[in-house]
Structure 1
Amino acid sequence: MSETRDTREFCPRCGDSVPEREEPLPGEPRERDRVLCDACYFEDFELVDAPERVEVTVCSHCGAVHHGNRWVDVGARDYTDVAVDEVSEALAVHLKADQIQWGVEPEQVDQNTIRMHCTFAGVVRDTHVEETVVVPVKISRGTCDRCGRISGGSYAAEVQIRGRDRVPEQAEQERAVEIAESLVAEREADGDRESFVTEVTDQPEGKTVKLSTNKLGKAVATQITEELGGSHSEAPTLVTEDGDGNEVYRVTFAVRLPKFRPGDVIDPDDDEGPVLVRSVRGNLKGVRLATGEPYEAGFEEGETPDAETVGHVDDAVETTVVTVEDDNAVQVLDPETYEAVTVARPSGVADDAATVDAVKTDAGLFVIPPTEDADGADRADRADGADVADVADDEVADGGDDA
């Protein structure tokens, strides 16, 4: 007589039978709780492992969030999204759960506390399970490394905005600072938290910009001279040694803006009359007021030829045209004596012009050539990278790119 052996397994906790389960594959660990029935298994089952509290440290100066071992710029007006991310990373879902779904509902308790209501659902042992946890998020304030360095006055480079034989115009100084701030903003947008402006100071001879790194200082000095003309030099100073014994230098970048500016009327020492300066990038370029012919300083002279400033377009005044004599001459009223005088007629003065702008120098009275149309030669020069100045009063005063 044959006997049938009972192969059923029974729960060691309650004694109920346990459904037959698939055996683990060779090499896989055998689950300790597989011997429990579903009722006993779910008595101790936790779908979500959540911390009692999450703390988020925020820089009180710039709003960066301390994440792991570094500070991260988040650009948030409030920190609800940050709290959601931090809680999401802190939560752990049971490995045996499938088809996980979850949601979170933040509750702003006060300015520094957000209570996160997290709901999770999944399938475990072919059973739908749900669990809700509440995790308080505490927002604490601190100071990030970057802001600490700024407030402590830390800097590695300084860019001195100076002029050659003159004090830079206020518009030039402000534009130089804008260039520095723009370059810093570009690096910040790329995630570089090591680039910043520590301080901008006013000196009688011009502004000084203190920057976080020597590399940034060089980039700023180079950009300023490329846009505003002139040149720069650098002077390193040994300040300390780092922990590895490497020498640490602080570099001073001395930017020297050109002696002459676009819009200046200068008198070169060549007996050919005054020149209206159009560009000081590279070699000085301009136009002869007496003939209308183009002028360019020699290579060895660069942007500072042997000349003296005798006026500026800001000094020009509107005067009446008496008559246009021919292609090369026009008769106007002297703005001081009101006598009719014949002066050179620059290109652009219309045959029916009623008034022109003129500037009076020790060399005589000269008509200022009308500003080139934006679709004319000036645009072509810009396309070639030249620094052509629009000598209209408003643009010179604004200190734009052409200044």
Structure 2
Amino acid sequence: MSTESATFCPRCGDPTTEAETGATRRERALCNDCYFDDFDLVDVPDTIEVRVCARCGAVHRGNRWVDVGAQDYTDIAIEETTEALGVHVGASEFDWQVRPEQVDATTIRMHCRFSGIVRGEPMTEEVTVPVRISKETCLRCGRIAGDYYASVVQVRAVGDRTPTTEETERAKEIANDIVADMEATGDRNAFVTELSEKPEGLDMKLSTTKIGKNVSRKLTEEFGGSFSDSETLVTEDEDGNEVYRVTFAVRLPEFVAGDVIDLEDDDGGPVLVRSVRGNLKGVRVTTGEPYEASYEVGDAPDARKLGTTEDAVDTTVVTVEDENAVQLLDPETYEAKTVARPDYMDESSDTVPVLRSREGIHVLPDA
């Protein structure tokens, strides 16, 4: 009875018990000795070729370059070896150890020891895999080296003024922040090609039109103004498609916070500009009342600039005549003069900052 019901190995004929491990029924029927004759615990290629960018350390995988964050080529070799391993599906409790050996600048031998449990039997396997490093230049670094750019942002100001240092530095910061955010999401096409300060303003060459548009939008959101764009045909790609370069012209408002302006067709007195985001806002330097330009006027009212808070000088208060007037010493002639007293002036002050212009002397708020 036992002989008739026994299972025999189809290769050697020895009695055996059908195992769970095996891709086919015939493999499962093999005895352990015959099964292990053809068994490979791991499948590892004879050689692993790794394309590495010599400039940034990115690794080429599939059809694209990937930033791996490796500290050196040994880290890259270990990671690529891990990716190349094929572990037999029948193995459990699998583990492996690796000892890298640096042969030369571009070759690393990976001495690997693998272990696992197959059909209840412990198994070990040792292999040596050479990893060859091929140094190249990735597309991104090639473009950077070649001063590639797809968009230009020109930062200018309306009227006779040029962008302030604050506006220029902030524009640079915005561009670098946007690029950093895009890089953090894995976008390798994002980079700043060139930042160039000119007498009339700042020019920024950027790798994509998306960056240029985002920088222009963010800059006008913070400082007011507007921007427009125009395309220029520069070449055709290998497929015959036209390639355009986009120029974004940012026009910042004529006036900035800290300017004192005289509004045309307005008898309310000069205005100290507080903000030009959305529309111009400020305070009357004659009364201290708030001022806000209409929606139609926005951040570009018809006005002439009288000076800035940086032009203000401290002068002596002679006497406060009433709630609307104060007597001061003219900072140039040292004559006592009566001028409008804005409500932000502290009547107990001995000195106040004033701006002297063609429109007279006006008390400014304390810094």
1:210-229 CA-partner distances (Å, limit 9, x unpaired): 22222332222111111111
Q: TM-score scaled to structure 2, two decimals? A: 0.85
| CA distance 1:343–1:103, shift in 2 (3 Å) | farther
Q: Which runs of 4+ in 1 moved over 6 A?
A: 4-8
Corresponding position of 1:343: 339
Question: Is 1:332 aligned with 2:328?
Answer: yes
Structure 2 SS opposite 1:273: coil
The alpha carbon displacement at 1:101 in A equals 2.2
Alignment of structure 1 residues 276-315 onto 2, 5 Å: 276-315=272-311
Q: Return closer, same or farther for 1:75/1:101 CA change in 2, 3 Å cut-off.
A: closer
Paired with 2:291 and 2:5, the residues of 1 have a C-alpha distance of: 111
1:37 is displaced (CA, Å) by 5.6
Shift in CA distance, 23/71, structure 1 to aligned 2, threshold 3 Å: closer
CA distance in 2, matches of 1:331, 1:106: 86
Paired residue for 1:157?
A: 151
Partner secondary structure for residue 345 of structure 2: coil
Of the three residues 317, 321, 324, the one matched with 1:321 is: 317
C-alpha distance in structure 2 between counterparts of 1:152 and 1:168, whole Å: 29
Partner of 1:22 in structure 2?
18
| Inter-CA distance 324–150: structure 2 relative to 1 (3 Å threshold) | same
Gaps of 5+ in 1: 371-391, 393-403
Matched, 1:232 2:227: yes
Do the aligned partners of residues 8 and 344 (structure 1) sit closer, same or farther apart at CA in structure 2, a change above 3 Å counting?
closer
Asked if the contact 1:18/1:35 (under 8 Å) is kept, the reply is no
1:223 and 2:218 matched: yes
Alpha-carbon displacement from aligned partner over 1:249-272 (angstroms, at most 9, x marks no partner): 322111111111111111122344
Q: 1:365 aligns with which of 345, 361, 364?
A: 361
Letter in 2 for 1:228: F
Q: Distance in 2 between matches of 1:364 and 1:328?
A: 16
1:249 aligns with 2:205: no
Work out whether residues 347 and 369 of structure 1, in 8 Å CA contact, stay in contact via their aligned partners in 2.
no
Give runs of aligned pairs for residues 4-403 of structure 1, distance below 5 A. Answer: 9=8, 18-22=14-18, 29-31=24-26, 35=30, 38=33, 42=36, 45-106=39-100, 112-165=106-159, 166-242=161-237, 246-269=241-264, 270-370=266-366, 392=367
1:109 and 1:264, CA in 2 relative to 1: closer, same or farther beyond 3 A? farther
Letter in 2 for 1:22: E
Aligned residue pairs total 364
**Cα distance in 1 for residues equivalent to 2:63 and 2:257:** 51
Structure 2 gaps of 5+ residues are none
Q: Is the 8 A contact 1:24 1:30 kept in 2?
A: no
CA separation in 2, counterparts of 1:6 and 1:231? 90
Distance 1:188 1:45 in 2: 45
Shift of 1:22: 1.3
User: How far apart are the structure 2 equivalents of 1:317 and 1:18?
Assistant: 108
Q: Which has the higher strand share?
A: 2
